Amino acid sequence: MKPIKTCQTLGLTALATLAATTQAHSQSAEALINKLVQKGVLTEKEGKDLMTESSDTNLVSASKWRLNEAIKSIGLFGDVRFRYEYRGADNAAKSGATGDDYARERFRYAFRLGLKGDLFDNFYYGLRLETSTNPRSPWVTFGDDTSSTPSAKNSDGINIGQAYLGWRPASWYEMTVGKFPMPLYVTPMVWDTDINPEGAVEKLKFSAGNANLFANFGQFLYQNANPSSELPSGDTFMLAWQVGADVKLTKNISVKIAPVLYNYTGFGQTNLLNEPYVGEGASGLNVGLTSTFTNAVHYNQSGINDLLVLEVPAEVNFKVAKYNARAFGDFAYNFQGNSRARAAANEAGPTILSHPYLGEDKAYQIGLGFGNLGLVYGQTSKKHTWEARAYWQHIEQYALDVNLIDSDFFEGRANLEGVYTALAYSFTDSIIGTVRYGYAHRINNNLGTGGTNPDLPILNPVNQYHLLQLDVTWRF
């Protein structure tokens, strides 16, 4: 019996190693005991005794967590961020003023917590909670609560940021439905990095020599303000059609490019989203959706009419000594930009726009990143690494959907151009410090700076714009 006792000890040791937090581990321990019985290492009675003993000593299940058997893996992720921020703008309506006519200085925080993993039969899932109801920002400002009590919690709510289910039946194809992370290869010029589209997306990828080819097709439900209507007239969809390639030219040089075409369908709702976009302000005020004016549509900041946008993001990755470097850029052109301009002039009337300003239908970005690429955006964090990043950006008045562009740089507005700079340093494997600065000015002085943003909501046009952000991020 001594050898058996030895094997029994080995069995217990194996069980202790397998003991963890899920019911799946419990089933693995039971399978191990059955295998030892089948091999004759343990008698049937010894196997039953060992099963009872391991259960009694909590070796099989060391945790009270019990997960559904369909969950193959589970991972916790998220971040906690703290920020000092200064935003200032020179409003053209106030002539002769010096410095920033409007300024906002504040301390802020943001919290995101999520679960993601694999399910059986090639399915996967993701859930994430986050602060703020603003789709383009998870940030909450300290002390901005409506209650007069210090440290109140009126603005400190938790909302659903992501909730999606995906299916990957083959290595070259997957599809996802729900509210998911941005599935396209894009830049902040067109899409704010905090936006999580809702709807469905299909992704394909293939390899051909040194090239990785991919295609992404998105059906994003833009708005469903009138659910009683039938599809498609009751819903507004944004459709995205992207093809791209990531090509490795040499050991240290690769190129990635992925044109994407956006179009909109399913109009029919009676709100400013489907009224002609104008982009102008009245007496220095941005009077879009919150206007008390009876002719609010004449100052519409949200309309998505006449948008057929081609975006071409691209990057070149290479090495400088031992450091990673990336030259990147983006170009966008609205094929219906002149129609959008004519609709704006017609809707605004001669008191706001005397005639359409044609040719204001392009946007572009060009920049350089150096160091631990992705650290500026919190996508990676490795102790004592750093990243420096800068780009120049130019967005004309009728080039893009102003409801999607980055709400920080430059205030989520069109008809602005300027420079963005950022420097990030990782103090540990999970703590990142980041400094960002941006400056922008108006491109066409005959037009407003179209778009809405609650950070500086009353300004249109913005003549000059400054932004300074100091962040500390705990990423996990």
Residue 383: exposed, middle, or buried by beta-carbon count in 10 A (0-12, 13-18, 19+)? exposed
Domain ranges of the chain: 2-56, 75-475
User: Which residues, other chains included, contact 209 with Cβ-Cβ below 8 Å and sequence gap of 6+?
Assistant: none
Query: Going residue by residue through the chain (476 aa), what tens digit of pLDDT does each one get?
Result: 444 444 444 444 444 444 444 444 455 667 777 777 777 777 877 777 777 666 554 444 445 667 788 889 999 999 999 999 999 998 765 544 455 678 899 999 999 999 999 999 999 999 999 998 889 999 999 988 776 677 777 778 899 999 999 999 999 999 999 999 999 999 999 999 999 999 999 999 999 999 999 999 999 998 876 655 555 556 889 999 999 999 999 999 999 999 999 999 876 565 678 889 999 987 555 544 444 444 667 788 989 999 999 999 999 999 999 999 999 999 999 999 999 999 999 988 777 888 899 999 999 999 999 999 999 999 988 999 999 999 999 999 999 999 999 999 889 999 999 999 999 999 999 999 999 999 999 999 999 999 988 888 778 889 999 999 999 999 99
Supply the pLDDT for residue 155.
78
Give the Cα separation of 18 and 12 in Å (integer).
Answer: 10
Supply the pLDDT for residue 393.
98
Give the Cα separation of 125 and 450 in Å (integer).
Answer: 37
The 3-state DSSP class for residue 347 equals: helix
Cβ atoms of residues 194 and 158 within 8 Å: no
User: Which residues, other chains included, contact 10 with Cβ-Cβ below 8 Å and sequence gap of 6+?
Assistant: none
Looking at the chain, how many residues does it have? 476
Structure tokens at 225: 């303000």
Cβ atoms of residues 220 and 238 within 8 Å: yes
Cβ atoms of residues 395 and 415 within 8 Å: yes
User: Which residues, other chains included, contact 45 with Cβ-Cβ below 8 Å and sequence gap of 6+?
Assistant: none
Give the Cα separation of 422 and 426 in Å (integer).
Answer: 14
Supply the pLDDT for residue 232.
52
Structure tokens at 184: 């396209």
Supply the pLDDT for residue 224.
78
Task: Give the domain 75-475 fold.
Answer: Porin (2.40.160)
DSSP H or E segment with residue 348: helix 337-348
DSSP H or E segment with residue 23: helix 23-38
